[in-house]
A = this chain, B = another copy of it.
Amino acid sequence: MITFKEAFQKVLDHPLDLGVEAVSLMGSLNRVLAEDIYADRDFPPFDRATKDGIAIQFSDFVNNGQSFVVEGVAAAGEVQQVLKDKSNCLEVMTGAVVPTNCDTVVMYEHITIVDSKVTINEKVKKGQNIHYQGSDEKAGALLLSKGKKITPAEIGIMATVGKATVKVMGNPKICTIATGNELVEVKDIPKPYQIRKSNMLTIEAALLNSKIEASSLHLLDEKEIIKKELKKALTENDVLLLSGGVSKGKFDFIPEVMESLGVQKVFHRVLQRPGKPFWFGIHPKLKTVIFSFPGNPVSTFANYHLYFLPWLQTSWGLPLENSYIKLSAAIKLTQPLTRFIQVNTESKDGIFCATPVVENGSGDLTSLAKADGFINLEPRDEIYVVGEVVPFVKTR
């Protein structure tokens, strides 16, 4: 058996090149940007009025006092207007191009207009209420870098520079595979010795949160069927995520069948709880990567977050983000195993704290709904004390 740290490194040592995909702007939401995004023109693209009011030439204001005749109106979405007589003014609307010969905007709240004659009632600062061309960004400036997660803010920026189509990191083709004769469909009424499939639905939902739509398969505990189906799945997918079939049972055929199909075992069994029987392999020719998780719901869920998601980040060429949290309860580990412990989190006065969830072992599916994530504790003799900062992996 190997340690968690060794297993983790071995998983990261086998990334896939997932390529790049072009998707619609809105389809890029929550994907990872695979190109740099530049300003196609200055931001803003012209000297833009930021208030509704009048545009004037300030020098004239200083020289000639506080009254102006209105020459006309400059609206948003119109060509730039010209102030003909610099001692006059133009009414100007928010978003409009500041007219030629004007350098200052005075808002309606600060003026009085009587018969097309404006009186200014407040102090005026030269250049006020103008959002200058290129003052946010110059044309050609790098706005978003490759590798950035695309959130609504990035959608807005890409819309502004005309990215109707966006290059994003490719998604792996994934098949989730449930194993075991005891499993029936969600819509079915299980017999007393059966249970409904849930593990791989949990994983499919988690994949959807990474914008990956996986296919799915259910394998019964019959070696020949498993072999035939896995052979097909290995060819058709980049990644197989399995649950169950990797323990020491008489019908745990997965490792044996995998190896007979040319899959190279990278490791089997890790010094960790939950998820000790985790089996990881690759098919060197087909370039398929196989994560075979133990069948217990908490084990599968933990291994997905602790191994698969970092593997996905690495395959996308992204740095891993480590997150930490303060313990609000002391924890004593009694065995030489890395422990993934389900916790509730709480942010109080800006401090992020974790409290272990009361659960009933790795088969306790209902405990998942009580937790916000796992803390990841390396084995050690000394107690983990209250207030200690430990690694944390978020699951909701």
In the assembled complex, the Cα of A204 lies from the Cα of B360 at a distance in Å of 42
User: Quick check: A159 and B196 within 8 Å, CB to CB?
Assistant: yes
| CB-based nearest B residue for A137 | B366
Count of chain A residues with Cβ under 8 Å from any Cβ of B? 113
Contact mask for chain A residues 39-59; partner B; CB cutoff 8 A; 1 contact, 0 none: 100011110101111000000
In the assembled complex, the Cα of A360 lies from the Cα of B366 at a distance in Å of 48
In the assembled complex, the Cα of A197 lies from the Cα of B163 at a distance in Å of 11
Q: At the interface, yes or no: A205 with Cβ under 8 Å from chain B?
A: yes
User: Quick check: A324 and B347 within 8 Å, CB to CB?
Assistant: yes
Whether A77 touches B181, Cβ cut-off 8 Å, given contacts A159-B198, A164-B187, A198-B159, is yes
Complex interface: chain B residues within 8 A of A301 (CB): 152-153, 156
Whether A251 touches B206, Cβ cut-off 8 Å, given contacts A43-B365, A76-B180, is no
Copies of this chain held together in the complex:
2
Complex interface: chain B residues within 8 A of A284 (CB): none
User: Quick check: A198 and B160 within 8 Å, CB to CB?
Assistant: yes
In the assembled complex, the Cα of A209 lies from the Cα of B226 at a distance in Å of 38
User: Quick check: B369 and A221 within 8 Å, CB to CB?
Assistant: no
Query: What are some 19 contacts across the A-B interface (CB < 8 A)?
Result: A25-B186, A26-B205, A26-B208, A39-B366, A75-B249, A75-B251, A93-B251, A93-B252, A96-B193, A109-B248, A136-B365, A136-B366, A152-B301, A156-B301, A157-B365, A157-B366, A162-B196, A324-B348, A351-B352
Q: Add 10 more A-B contacts to A107-B248, A152-B205 (CB < 8 A).
A: A25-B201, A50-B361, A52-B250, A75-B181, A76-B251, A109-B248, A136-B367, A162-B187, A162-B188, A351-B351
